[in-house]
Structure 1
Amino acid sequence: MSIARQLIKKYKPQGQAGFLGAGHEARPVVSGPFIQTDPFIYLMDDILDKKDNIPVGGPHPHAGFETVSLLLQGSFGDEKHHMKEGDFEIMTAGSGIVHTETLEKKAKLRWLQLWLNLPKKDRWAAPRVQNMSFKHVPTSNEHGVKIHLYSGSLAGLTSPVQNYSPLIVANITINAGVTTVQQLPANYNTFLYVIEGSVKIGMGEKQLHKDEVGWLNLSEETSESDLKLTAGEAGVNFVLYAGKPTGDEIVSHGPFIADTAEEIQQLYQEYRRGKINHITTVPEERKIKW
């Protein structure tokens, strides 16, 4: 008998002032004890309405994890690296990179950036960046359910994105009143973040509304599980994240994730000495594009 997924926790993340200054609202979609959110460390919903041409942002380091970015609205970047609405990026910081996020002009953006744990054996993997443009995202549109699959496998789709931590990321739209049942590994920690509309989840039909985050029950079974979803009167659009827990303990400080406090100190020393290279210096074979 298949395991039924249920909504066991929900909340509405509160916006706070973002690091890009005026017009930047940052909503902490995922935060709290890593033992509960594993393999997800943080997820921020960044909403920006920049009304001037004063440059903001700049270079900063990362190490020990991956950033997983989905652009929901707008576009940014330069001719070397440009993202537009619906594009996706996984950047493996691994052993350490310097990353630059600079906005020099007026912009209206919304993007989700997840910090995803690297399993202990892959903590210091060589840096890598994977970019998928929206037109290459595996997509299905059947029976009132549209799925854009960015990572992993779902609903008969499989993304070409390579993962260290098994990860499903999907942007799902369900028409008003439509019910669908999707299969997910029962042992994947899973949450939904509603962008528009509302949805009833599981046999208990607990509701999740716009701007709310909902976490599902988690099993140790390795079999598939059923996730029943029924869209509300206005339909629903949400992003689904499901990942296999690493079971590791982590130490988090600033832009770094490590296994010990000593490793964090070493990373800061390496950064100050200029020993961490910029992501643009990654060999071409580790810059993967679709």
Structure 2
Amino acid sequence: MTLSNARHGVERRLERIIDLPAPVQGQFGPAHTVVPVIQPEDYALSDPFILLMDDRIDGQPIGGPHPHAGFETVTLVVKGGMSHDSGRLGERDVQWMTAGSGVIHGEGLDRPGEARILQLWLTLPKARRWVPASYQDISYAELPVRREPGVEVRLYSGSSGEVRSPTQNYVPVTLAEFLLEPGATVEHDLPHADNGFLYVLEGELAVGPEARALRPGQVGWLDRPGSGGDSTLRLTGTTRARALLYAGPPQREPLVSYGPFIGDTQADLMRVMDEYRAGRYTHPPRR
């Protein structure tokens, strides 16, 4: 049952809690393992989020420059640091890259060692699928912060309370980090129609009117009560906790994919592969 909140309308709850598998061998050599959090085949349920991989590295991964087209990548460094074509990301920093019309980019660790990186693939609206490529580096130290008793909400994108992020979006996505002390509670407003999920990095949360427990190793998907108006998500720290909220409006357009390319049709995929082979892709400029 979805309950009402007098100030903010419908209160969101956890509809699905998925227990994630243990890390498996990744594609970038023996130093790389990965936990698949969202898979492309589940896009009908996860729209606008195509894929989320929780990459774990212990040593020196093997990789190099590679292409993307037709979507955005949102790369969050949970632990360690990484370099990319035009700079570096420190711990808890984010790169928001619009692959759009096509890019070649490379990324790697500052030095061999331990790291943990979350990479999200985010759809673009059909009308903006092939926009010029670009990127934004988002520094954790410069994030807008909402503070409540025992709570800090840091915004990579979107808004919380009266605080708003300056990050530019094609799809209006919320990406927020919640830090809660034991027993502290915060309410966060979301549009009714937003699809979203919580990913706990440390500790344990109680979520929604039923206070369902969510902890590391799980992904918690919010219910989708309908369109129009606002809704509220209530989080309480069962222990000291750190969690990420990803939320955004479904685009409701079918996608096709092949490797690092996303399109609306198979003809799109053939075209972008031909453009890549013809050497038309370059490193993305700063947005």
* 2:52 equivalent to 1:43: yes
Are the counterparts in 2 of residues 62 and 98 from structure 1 also a CA contact under 8 Å?
A: yes
Are the counterparts in 2 of residues 56 and 103 from structure 1 also a CA contact under 8 Å?
A: no
Structure 2 distance, partners of 1:141, 1:18, is: 38
Q: Deviations over 1:47-68 (max 9, x none)?
A: 1111x5xx72101100000001
Q: Give the aligned partner of residue 255 of structure 2.
A: 250
Q: Which of 189, 198, 202 lines up with 2:195 in the alignment? A: 189
Q: Which of 257, 274, 278 lines up with 1:273 in the alignment? A: 278
Q: Deviations over 1:199-241 (max 9, x none)?
A: 1111111111122100011133221111121211x22111100
Structure 2 distance, partners of 1:33, 1:177, is: 34
* 2:268 equivalent to 1:259: no
Q: Which amino acid is 1:9 matched to?
A: R
Are the counterparts in 2 of residues 197 and 209 from structure 1 also a CA contact under 8 Å?
A: yes
Structure 1 distance, partners of 2:90, 2:209, is: 37
Q: Which amino acid is 2:29 matched to?
A: G
Number of residue pairs the alignment of both structures matches: 278
Structure 2 distance, partners of 1:97, 1:79, is: 11
Q: Which amino acid is 2:125 matched to?
A: P
Residues 38, 175 of structure 1: CA spacing in aligned structure 2 closer, same or farther, 3 A cutoff? same
Within-5 A mapping of 1:105-254: 105-232=111-238, 234-254=239-259
Q: Which amino acid is 2:138 matched to?
A: M
Farther off after superposition, 132-141 or 102-111: 102-111
Question: Runs of 4+ in structure 1 displaced over 4 angstroms?
Answer: none
**What secondary structure sits across from 2:182 in the alignment?**
coil
Residues 246, 99 of structure 1: CA spacing in aligned structure 2 closer, same or farther, 3 A cutoff? same
**What secondary structure sits across from 1:56 in the alignment?**
coil
Structure 2 distance, partners of 1:78, 1:34, is: 28
Are the counterparts in 1 of residues 12 and 233 from structure 2 also a CA contact under 8 Å?
A: yes
Q: Give the aligned partner of residue 20 of structure 1.
A: 28
5+ residue gaps, structure 2, are none
Structure 2 distance, partners of 1:102, 1:77, is: 5
TM-score (norm 1): 0.91
Q: Which of 90, 101, 119 lines up with 1:84 in the alignment? A: 90
Q: Which of 4, 10, 14 lines up with 2:11 in the alignment? A: 4
Q: CA deviation at 1:78?
A: 6.5
Are the counterparts in 2 of residues 92 and 128 from structure 1 also a CA contact under 8 Å?
A: yes
**What secondary structure sits across from 1:70 in the alignment?**
strand
Q: Which of 74, 83, 89 lines up with 2:80 in the alignment? A: 74
Residues 151, 210 of structure 1: CA spacing in aligned structure 2 closer, same or farther, 3 A cutoff? same
Q: Give the aligned partner of residue 101 of structure 1.
A: 107
Structure 1 distance, partners of 2:246, 2:45, is: 14
Q: Give the aligned partner of residue 65 of structure 2.
A: 59
Structure 2 distance, partners of 1:237, 1:104, is: 25
Q: Which amino acid is 1:241 matched to?
A: Y
Structure 1 distance, partners of 2:101, 2:279, is: 14
Are the counterparts in 2 of residues 140 and 148 from structure 1 also a CA contact under 8 Å?
A: yes
Structure 2 distance, partners of 1:274, 1:189, is: 37
Q: Percent identity?
A: 40
5+ residue gaps, structure 1, are none
Are the counterparts in 2 of residues 183 and 226 from structure 1 also a CA contact under 8 Å?
A: yes
TM-score (norm 2): 0.92
Q: CA deviation at 1:74?
A: 0.8
